[in-house]
Amino acid sequence: MLPVVAIVGRPNVGKSTLFNRLLGQRKAIVEDVPGVTRDRNYARVDRFDRPFMLIDTGGFEPASEDRLLTQMREQSQLAIEEADIILLVFDGREGLTPSDEEVAAMLRRVEKPVLFLVNKIDGDSQELALGEFYSLGLDDLLPISSAHGRGVGELIDRLHQLM
């Protein structure tokens, strides 16, 4: 059985972009329209030392913060059930939101390894945005740029350590 890695996070944080980046090809639909991946996307990633299954979770852009929370709880629950390793993605450009905090709190109680990724850190100047995420007090916080590949090698190393 291959280890299963699930990507979760709010709509538009860059989950599908990360999925495609790890896959090394374009498969998940990435749109400027937020929340385009409606369902789940599964792919086998075997271009690194150790193969794994990757799940991209989707969701619509909910009308309210309440709906968003419900959706994220369901998405995270699913990842908790199906995955061996969970990647929770934050948006380093938008900053930390209440639903991010809630899901981070939910996932840090889980027995499975969780890596917390701050995406859209495309260059050094965006590193400043990390400060508020460190306030969550998470051990495994990693800045990445799914669009440009920054930090993704480090992410792969961390994944391999957990497999």
Grouping H, G, I as helix, E, B as strand and the rest as coil, residue 4 is: strand
**Secondary structure (3-state) at 41:** strand
Question: What is the contact surface with ligand GDP in residues (CB under 6 A)?
Answer: 9, 11-17, 30-32, 34-37, 119-120, 122, 145-147
Pairs from 125-129 (Cβ < 8 Å, separation ≥ 24): 126/92, 126/93, 129/92, 129/93, 129/95
For residue 140, the minimal CB distance to ligand GDP (Å) is 18
How crowded is the C-beta side of 16, counted as CA atoms within 13 Å?
Answer: 20
- Is 123 annotated in a binding site? The answer is no
Judging by beta carbons within 10 Å of its beta carbon (0-12, 13-18, 19+), is residue 131 exposed, middle or buried? exposed
Q: Does the annotation flag 153 for ligand binding?
A: no
Partner whose binding site includes residue 21, from Mg ion, ligand GDP, none (CB under 5 to 8 Å by kind):
none
Contact 74, 54 (CB under 8 A): no
Q: How far is the CB of 111 from ligand GDP (least distance, A)?
A: 25
Residue 99 annotated as lining a ligand binding site: no
Q: How far is the CB of 117 from ligand GDP (least distance, A)?
A: 10
Write out the DSSP string of 53-71.
EEEE------SSHHHHHHH
**In angstroms, what is the minimal distance from the CB of 76 to ligand GDP?**
14
The mark string for 7-26 relative to Mg ion (x by CB under 5 A, - otherwise) is --------xx----------
Residues forming a β-bridge with 6: 55, 86
Residue span 26-55 as binding mask against Mg ion, x where in contact by CB under 5 A, dash where not: -----------x------------------
Tokens representing residue 3 in the block: 């280890």
Residue 97 binds which entry of Mg ion, ligand GDP, none, CB below 5-8 Å type-dependent:
none
Specify binding-site residues for GTP: 9-16, 56-60, 119-122
Write out the residues near Mg ion by the rule CB under 5 A: 15-16, 37
